[in-house]
């Protein structure tokens, strides 16, 4: 007689062991990404939960379907039944009021709702879908792949088909060897690192512990169907070879100054994707970007901004800083770097961070419920401090979408709103045009 070994009931297999977050990822634990898209057909909270369950069935150890242990900086895989219960808190319906646009109702709810142990939180209301994702999941490259694919899968009732290529091992080391190893003299340029100047308030902060900063995050968004063409036409006519990102960054600085929001620093922070330093074909999961301080000769001159961006990329400084921070976190066993507690200056001025995302083509084939001129593409990144003002630029359906986040207890929303409207109406109207 053949003996039969007792087995586990379906769905009760033990989950994989918890794993420590990489140093690259746990350094971002205090930051979230938030994006709202719509209007869409056929994407419901129930459909998103079902898509997440299918994702868990296919990839049960992926960070997006694990519970987060923030204190230990670990990803906790769940059993099939455990994730089925956990998923009920990952996708919810938001019922807005008649006085608030449903896109704003979804976005505001996500801004105010903490993630806790959830790696992501999806909200649906009035045809709009929002996602709040821990930055520990990954940077914008990861988010803008995962979020649209979850919506497609939910609308079509199928499992998410995400690209899951095997990432390279030791990506920071590989990138450093690829960039600096081929030309060691680049290390000299990479060592010339600029940092934002310390303000008197920052310098005095060590003498007395400041009261905890309690963010009151506001956001603004604007769309322009003409801004991309205007920026490129100006570039081709007056500054051939300059990137469209440099034109928009200069226009943003000029608009803020025009609206009485002169930046605090003579320079600005720009988010750099360090994947460009890897060998061709290399894949990286999680976070592989760095916010680097730049000091152009003139913040409102696209040529000066472009020169500063190009020099920064060529030097490898963003990669060097990413490597230094990763090594520091790995060697110190620090879980993550909480944001520094700083008092708000008596005369606050924006600490400007700019991000150019480019075309987000992953969203184009979603089941849109209206023509492109009715599309919403809203992004609200976590601000890095009371005076932080973060602007991002992306293109969808041929239009420019500009998003800004800041603390409304520090900055009056009205001039911020005027600034982003100015940029979208005429991104080159305020910048220095050569004769």
pLDDT in tens, 144-192: 999 999 999 999 999 998 876 788 899 999 999 999 998 888 888 888 8
For residues 404 and 366, state if they share a domain. yes
For residues 301 and 414, state if they share a domain. yes
In this structure, are residues 51 and 150 in contact, taking their beta carbons and an 8 Å threshold?
A: yes
pLDDT digits 0-9 by tens, 280-318: 989 898 999 999 999 999 999 999 999 999 999 999 999
Domain with residue 138: its CATH number is 3.30.559.10
Q: Is 251 exposed, middle or buried (0-12, 13-18, 19+ CB in 10 A)?
A: buried
For residues 99 and 246, state if they share a domain. no
Highest mean pLDDT among 6-10, 23-27, 327-331, 361-365: 361-365
Residue 65 has pLDDT above 80, yes or no: yes
Structural domain of 38: 19-156
In this structure, are residues 244 and 250 in contact, taking their beta carbons and an 8 Å threshold?
A: no
Query: Which of the four pLDDT bands, split at 50, 70 and 90, describes residue 7?
Result: very low
In this structure, are residues 174 and 168 in contact, taking their beta carbons and an 8 Å threshold?
A: yes
- Look up the pTM and report it: 0.91
Q: Which residues, in sequence order, are CB contacts of 195 under 8 Å at separation 6+?
A: 293
Query: Which of the four pLDDT bands, split at 50, 70 and 90, describes residue 4?
Result: very low
The domain tally of the chain equals 2
For residues 136 and 278, state if they share a domain. no
Domain with residue 220: its CATH number is 3.30.559.30
Residue 9 has pLDDT above 60, yes or no: no
Residue 12 has pLDDT above 80, yes or no: no
More confident residue, 193 or 216: 216
Domain final residue, candidates 133, 156, 179: 156
Structure tokens at 416: 């911020």
In this structure, are residues 122 and 129 in contact, taking their beta carbons and an 8 Å threshold?
A: yes
388-396 β-sheet, strand order: 217-224, 399-407, 388-396, 351-359, 268-273, 289-294
What percentage of the chain's residues is helix, strand, coil (to nearest 5)? 40, 20, 45
User: What is the C-alpha end-to-end distance of the chain, expressed in Å?
Assistant: 95
Mean pLDDT of 339-351: 78
pLDDT digits 0-9 by tens, 400-420: 999 999 999 999 999 999 999
Structure tokens at 409: 């207890």
Three-class DSSP labels, 213-256: CCCCEEEEEEEECCHHHHHHHHHHHHCCCCCHHHHHHHHHHHHH
Query: Which of the four pLDDT bands, split at 50, 70 and 90, describes residue 54?
Result: very high
Residue 253 has pLDDT above 70, yes or no: yes
Structure tokens at 214: 């309690």
Structure tokens at 323: 């490597």
Q: Is 61 exposed, middle or buried (0-12, 13-18, 19+ CB in 10 A)?
A: middle
CA dist 404 and 419 (Å) reads 10
In this structure, are residues 130 and 143 in contact, taking their beta carbons and an 8 Å threshold?
A: no
For residues 376 and 252, state if they share a domain. yes
For residues 135 and 178, state if they share a domain. no
Mean pLDDT of 123-131: 98
Flag whether 324 is in a domain.
Answer: yes
CA dist 230 and 358 (Å) reads 16
CA dist 212 and 204 (Å) reads 16
Q: Which residues, in sequence order, are CB contacts of 376 under 8 Å at separation 6+?
A: 36, 37, 38, 39, 103, 128, 221, 223
For residues 146 and 183, state if they share a domain. no
Domain final residue, candidates 156, 189, 221: 156
CA dist 194 and 414 (Å) reads 32
For residues 308 and 389, state if they share a domain. yes
For residues 142 and 193, state if they share a domain. no
SS3 84: helix
Q: What value does the mean pLDDT of the chain take?
A: 90
Flag whether 344 is in a domain.
Answer: yes
Locate tokens 């089925």: which residue? Answer: 84
SS3 425: helix
CA dist 248 and 430 (Å) reads 11
pLDDT of res. 3: 42
In this structure, are residues 30 and 337 in contact, taking their beta carbons and an 8 Å threshold?
A: yes
CA dist 301 and 362 (Å) reads 32
């Amino acid at each position: 007689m053949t003996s039969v070994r007792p087995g586990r009931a379906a769905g009760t297999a033990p989950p994989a062991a918890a794993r420590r977050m990489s140093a690259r990822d746990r350094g971002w634990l205090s930051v979230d990404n938030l994006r709202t898209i719509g209007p869409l057909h056929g994407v419901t909270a129930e459909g998103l939960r079902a898509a997440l369950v299918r994702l868990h069935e296919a990839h049960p150890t992926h960070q997006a379907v694990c519970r987060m242990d923030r204190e230990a900086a670990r990803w906790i895989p769940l059993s099939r039944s455990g994730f089925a219960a956990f998923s009920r808190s990952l996708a919810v319906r938001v019922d807005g009021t008649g006085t608030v646009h449903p896109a704003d109702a979804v976005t505001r709810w996500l801004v105010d709702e903490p993630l806790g142990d959830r790696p992501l939180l999806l909200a649906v209301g009035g045809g709009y879908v929002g996602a709040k994702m821990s930055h520990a999941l990954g940077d914008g490259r990861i988010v803008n792949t995962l979020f649209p694919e979850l919506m497609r899968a939910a609308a079509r009732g199928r499992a998410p088909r995400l690209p899951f290529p095997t990432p390279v091992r030791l990506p920071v080391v590989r990138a450093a060897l690829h960039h600096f190893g081929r030309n060691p003299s680049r290390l000299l340029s990479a060592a010339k690192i600029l940092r934002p100047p310390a303000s008197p308030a920052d310098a005095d902060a060590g003498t007395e512990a400041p009261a905890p900063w309690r963010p009151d995050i506001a956001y603004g968004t604007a769309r322009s169907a003409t801004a991309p063409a205007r920026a490129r036409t100006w570039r081709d006519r007056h500054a051939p070879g300059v990137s469209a990102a440099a034109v928009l960054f200069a226009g943003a600085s000029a608009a803020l100054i025009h609206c009485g929001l002169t930046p605090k620093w003579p320079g600005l922070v720009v988010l750099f994707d360090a994947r460009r330093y890897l060998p061709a074909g290399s894949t990286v999961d999680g976070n592989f970007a760095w916010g680097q301080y730049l000091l152009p000769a003139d913040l409102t001159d696209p040529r000066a901004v472009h020169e500063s961006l190009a020099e920064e990329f060529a030097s490898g400084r963003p990669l060097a800083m990413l490597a230094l921070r990763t090594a520091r976190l790995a060697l110190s066993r620090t879980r993550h770097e909480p944001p520094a507690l700083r008092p708000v200056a008596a005369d606050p001025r924006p600490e400007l961070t700019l991000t150019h995302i480019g075309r987000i083509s992953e969203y184009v084939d979603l089941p849109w419920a209206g023509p492109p001129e009715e599309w919403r593409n809203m992004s609200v990144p976590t601000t890095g401090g009371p005076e932080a003002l973060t602007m991002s630029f992306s293109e969808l359906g041929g239009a420019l979408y500009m998003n800004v986040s800041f603390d409304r207890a520090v900055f009056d929303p009205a001039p911020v709103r005027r600034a982003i409207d100015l940029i979208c109406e005429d991104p080159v109207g305020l910048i220095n045009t050569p004769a």
